[in-house]
Chain A
Amino acid sequence: MPRNFALKVITTNRLVEGDAVYLTQAGKWSSEFADAEVFADLGSATSALEKANEQTLFHIGAYLADAEIDPSGRPRPIHYREQIRSRGPSNYFHGKQAEAANV
Chain B
Amino acid sequence: MYRYSEFDELFVRRRVEEFRDQVQRRLSGSLTEDEFKPLRLKNGLYLQLHAYMLRVAIPYGTLDARQMRQLAFIADNWDKGFGHFTTRQNVQFNWPKLADVPEILEALADVGMHAIQTSGNCIRNVTADHFAGAAADEISDPRPTAELLRQWSTDHPEFQYLPRKFKIAVSGSPRDRAVTKAHDIGLRMVRNQRGEPGYEVLIGGGLGRTPMIGATVREFLPENDLLAYVESILRVYNLHGRRDNKYKARLKILVHETGVDSLTHEIEDEFAERKKWFAGVDRELVANLKAAFEPPVFDLSRTRAFEDRKERDSDFRVWTDTNLSRHRCSAYAIATVSLKPIGGTPGDATANQMRVLADIAERLAHDEIRVSHEQNIIFPHIPKDKIPEAYDLLAAAGLHTSNFGLLSDIIACPGMDYCALATARSIPVAQDISRRFHDLGIERTIGEMKIKISGCINACGHHHVGHIGILGLERAGVENYQITLGGDATETAALGDRAGRGFSAEELLPALERLVAEYLRLRDSAGETFLEAYRRMGPEPFRAALYPEAKKLAA
| B37 nearest in chain A by CB position | A60
The complex places the Cα of A94 from the Cα of B27 at a distance, in Å, of: 26
Distance in Å: Cβ of B545 to nearest Cβ of chain A: 29
Q: Which of B33, B418, B478 contacts A60 (CB 8 A)?
A: B33
Distance in Å: Cβ of A74 to nearest Cβ of chain B: 21
B49 adjacent to chain A (CB < 8 Å): yes
B428 touches A91 (CB 8 A): yes
Most chain A beta-carbon neighbours within 10 Å: one of B29, B51, B99, B477: B51
B26 adjacent to chain A (CB < 8 Å): yes
List residues of A (36-88) whose CB comes within 8 Å of B's CBs: 56-57, 60-61, 78-81, 84-85, 88
A89 touches B27 (CB 8 A): no
Q: Do A84 and B51 form a contact, CB below 8 Å, given A16-B99, A90-B427, A94-B95?
A: no
List residues of B (1-54) whose CB comes within 8 Å of A's CBs: 26-27, 29, 32-33, 47-52
Residues of B within 8 A of A81 (CB): 49, 416
Residues of A within 8 A of B98 (CB): 15-18
B97 touches A20 (CB 8 A): no
Q: Do A84 and B97 form a contact, CB below 8 Å, given A15-B27, A18-B52?
A: no
Residues of A within 8 A of B80 (CB): 92, 94
B427 touches A13 (CB 8 A): no
The complex places the Cα of A61 from the Cα of B48 at a distance, in Å, of: 13
Q: Which of B27, B345, B428 contacts A16 (CB 8 A)?
A: B27
Residues of A within 8 A of B49 (CB): 20, 81, 84-85
Interface string of B40-80 (1 = CB under 8 A from A): 00000001111110000000000000000000000000001
**How large, as a class, is the contact surface on chain A?**
20 to 34
B27 touches A17 (CB 8 A): no
- Total count of chain B residues near the partner, CB < 8 A: 27
Q: Do A56 and B95 form a contact, CB below 8 Å, given A18-B52, A79-B477, A90-B427?
A: no
A90 touches B97 (CB 8 A): no
The complex places the Cα of A78 from the Cα of B477 at a distance, in Å, of: 9
Distance in Å: Cβ of A86 to nearest Cβ of chain B: 10
Residues of B within 8 A of A18 (CB): 47-48, 50-52, 97-98
Residues of B within 8 A of A96 (CB): 50
The complex places the Cα of A17 from the Cα of B78 at a distance, in Å, of: 11
Residues of A within 8 A of B27 (CB): 15-16
A19 adjacent to chain B (CB < 8 Å): yes
The complex places the Cα of A65 from the Cα of B104 at a distance, in Å, of: 33
Interface string of A28-39 (1 = CB under 8 A from B): 000000000000
B425 adjacent to chain A (CB < 8 Å): yes
B479 adjacent to chain A (CB < 8 Å): yes
Residues of B within 8 A of A78 (CB): 477
A91 touches B50 (CB 8 A): no
B97 touches A16 (CB 8 A): yes
Distance in Å: Cβ of B456 to nearest Cβ of chain A: 11
A84 touches B425 (CB 8 A): yes
Residues of B within 8 A of A80 (CB): 416, 477-479
A90 touches B50 (CB 8 A): no
B431 adjacent to chain A (CB < 8 Å): yes
A56 touches B32 (CB 8 A): yes
B417 adjacent to chain A (CB < 8 Å): yes
| B417 nearest in chain A by CB position | A89
Q: Which of A17, A60, A92 contacts B97 (CB 8 A)?
A: A17
| A57 nearest in chain B by CB position | B29
The complex places the Cα of A57 from the Cα of B30 at a distance, in Å, of: 9
A84 touches B29 (CB 8 A): no
The complex places the Cα of A60 from the Cα of B99 at a distance, in Å, of: 14
The complex places the Cα of A15 from the Cα of B101 at a distance, in Å, of: 13
The complex places the Cα of A20 from the Cα of B52 at a distance, in Å, of: 11
The complex places the Cα of A89 from the Cα of B416 at a distance, in Å, of: 8
Q: Which of A15, A79, A89 contacts B50 (CB 8 A)?
A: A89
Residues of B within 8 A of A88 (CB): 50
| B414 nearest in chain A by CB position | A89
Residues of A within 8 A of B417 (CB): 84, 89-91
Residues of A within 8 A of B48 (CB): 18
Q: Do A19 and B29 form a contact, CB below 8 Å, given A80-B416, A84-B416?
A: no
Residues of B within 8 A of A13 (CB): 47
Residues of B within 8 A of A79 (CB): 477
Residues of A within 8 A of B26 (CB): 15
| B52 nearest in chain A by CB position | A18
B33 touches A90 (CB 8 A): no
A19 touches B50 (CB 8 A): yes
| A84 nearest in chain B by CB position | B416
A90 touches B428 (CB 8 A): yes
Residues of A within 8 A of B33 (CB): 15, 56, 60-61
Distance in Å: Cβ of B171 to nearest Cβ of chain A: 32
Interface string of B88-124 (1 = CB under 8 A from A): 0000000101110000000000000000000000000
Interface string of B422-444 (1 = CB under 8 A from A): 00010110010000000000000
Q: Chain A residues in contact with chain B, CB under 8 A?
A: 13, 15-20, 56-57, 60-61, 78-81, 84-85, 88-92, 94-96
* Further contacts, 5 of them, CB under 8 A, given A19-B51, A81-B49: A15-B33, A16-B97, A80-B477, A80-B479, A90-B427
Q: What 10 A-B pairs have minimum CB-CB distances, sorted nearest first? A: A89-B417, A18-B51, A18-B52, A95-B50, A91-B427, A91-B345, A57-B29, A85-B49, A60-B33, A16-B98
Q: Chain B residues in contact with chain A, CB under 8 A?
A: 26-27, 29, 32-33, 47-52, 80, 95, 97-99, 345, 416-418, 425, 427-428, 431, 477-479
Can you list 22 A-B contacts (CB < 8 A)? A16-B99, A17-B98, A18-B47, A18-B98, A19-B51, A20-B49, A57-B29, A60-B33, A60-B47, A79-B477, A80-B479, A81-B49, A84-B49, A85-B49, A85-B50, A89-B50, A89-B427, A91-B417, A91-B431, A92-B80, A95-B50, A95-B51
